[in-house]
Amino acid sequence: MTERQDISGWEFAEPEVRATGRARGLLRNALRVRRTQVGLVITALVVGLAVVGPFLAPYSETEFVGRPLAQNAPGTLFGTDYLGRDVFSRLLNGGVSVLILAVLCTLLGVGVGLLVALVAGYGRGWVDELLMRISDVLLAFPAIVLALLFLAIWGPEPWAIVLTVGAGHVPRVARVLRAAVLDVSSLDYVRSAEAMGLRRWSIRFGDLLPNVTGPLMVEAGLRLTYSVALVAGLGFLGLSGLEADQADWGLMINENRTGLTVQPWAVLLPVLAIGLLTIGTNLVADGIARAAAGIERRADR
């Protein structure tokens, strides 16, 4: 017994190194794919705009600078919004909330989804059945419907948005990663780790996790894309978790859409920002997927 324990301790360190090494290798491969490069540049541009924007904005996001929905109000770059505030300043101020919420939703959804997948995919038996049937039921609901249901109960607090949107990701992430875990768990090195008497959680994190890094990163990228879309969509519906006068890209689209034909900038700019952000993160996720599948060379040549 004691001998086995020693071995397990010794064995445990190795896959950890391998896990980070594998992720790094995967990213390196992914970066060679053109779509990842394009995606990264686009994402960086939008993220940069959102993060640095509030410091560059010519006006405050709540200040009135002219008549509502004026396309060429003096002193403004892109005119005024439906209340006469500077569209450009609101664009620069309106991205941070979307970004932070989307990242938190993704972390929560992918993290919990991964745990569920490791438990279900490697535990098998009734635990697997139970978890997967629950997730089947949850999958039957569109994510936005679930989110709206719970936000109606809790109110549009930021934590509630993260919780509902993140929870909506869990069954989707769990399903994909469970399949990956299942594939890996029948391989010889898992069997041998079992034969050595390693604890199941050590095997999950030591042997299984490193070998599902590919699908994990792809899922993370995809879920980030969906999170951005969902958070912006909730913002459009007025559920941004912010005070009514704060800028938010999703909300900007809704507020200004009746004036679309008169002052298109107020809608177009936030649409562009959200569109570019989702395209960018999606390209990155796609690039990682291709690198993980090992088809990047053939696909790109």
Partner 1 sequence: MNQLPSRRDVLRGMVVGAGAFAAPGLLAACTGQSGQSTGGGQPRRGGSLRVGVVGGGPEDTLDAHTSVAHPDIARVHQLYEPLMSRDRDFQLVPVVAESVEPNRDLTAWTVRLRDGITFHDGRPVRPEDVIATYRRITDRQDPKVGAELLSFLDTRNIRKLDPRTLRFDLDRPTALFLDAISEYFQGIVPEDYDPANPVGTGPFKYSSFEPGQQSVFTRYDDYWRGGEPWVDEVTIINFAEDSARVNALLSGQVEAINSLPYGQIPVVRSNPELEVLESESGNWNPFTMRVDAEPFSDPQVRQAIRLLCDRQQMIDQVLVGHGALGNDLYAPFDPCYPSDLPQREYDPEQARSLLRRAGHEGLQVELVTSPVSQGIVEAAQVLKQQARGVVDIRLRQVDTGTFYGENYLSWPFAQDFWVTRGFLAQVAQGSLPNSPFNETHWDDPEFISLVRAAEQEPDEQRRCDLIQQAQGIEHERGGHLIWGFINLVDGYSTRVSGLQASRAGQPLDSYGFRHVWFV
By CB under 8 A, name the binding residues for partner 1: 62-64, 67-69, 82-84, 152, 155, 238, 243-245, 256-263
Asked whether 268 and 110 are in contact (CB, 8 A), the reply is no
* DSSP-assigned states of every residue in 14-72: HHHHHHHHHHHHHHHHHHTSHHHHHHHHHHHHHHHHHHHHHHH-SS-TT-B-SSTT-TT
CB 87, min distance to partner 1, A: 13
Give whichever of 59 and 205 is closer to partner 1, judged by the CB atom.
59
Query: With respect to partner 1, which residue has the nearer C-beta, 84 or 275?
Result: 84
Residue 101 CB, shortest distance to partner 1, in Å, is 17
Q: How far is the CB of 67 from partner 1 (least distance, A)?
A: 7
By beta-carbon proximity to partner 1, the closer residue of 108 and 239 is 239
119-123, Cβ contacts within 8 angstroms, sequence gap of 24 or more: 119/204, 120/174, 120/178, 120/181, 121/177, 121/178, 121/179, 121/180, 121/181, 121/182, 121/185, 121/208, 122/181, 122/185, 122/200, 122/203, 122/204, 122/208, 123/200
**DSSP assignment of 97-161:** HHHHHHHHHHHHHHHHHHHHHHHHHHH-HHHHHHHHHHHHHHHTS-HHHHHHHHHHHH-S-HHHH
Q: To the nearest whole angstrom, how small is the minimum distance from the Cβ of residue 61 to partner 1?
A: 10
User: What's phi and psi for 64, nearest 5 deg?
Assistant: -90, 125
Closer CB to partner 1, 84 or 123, in the complex: 84
CB of 180 to partner 1, least distance (A): 41
Contacts of 210 (CB under 8 A, 6+ apart): 15, 16, 18, 19, 22
Burial class from Cβ neighbours inside 10 Å (0-12, 13-18, 19+) for residue 262 reads: middle
Closer of 63 and 300 to partner 1 (Cβ): 63
Nearer to partner 1, 121 or 259 (CB): 259
- At closest approach, how far in Å is the CB of 144 from partner 1? 15
State the nearest-atom distance from the C-beta of 259 to partner 1, in Å.
3
Nearer to partner 1, 140 or 244 (CB): 244
Least separation in angstroms between CB 56 and partner 1: 21
* Cβ proximity to partner 1, 68 vs 210, nearer residue: 68
| Residue 85 main-chain phi, psi, to 5 deg | -100, 160
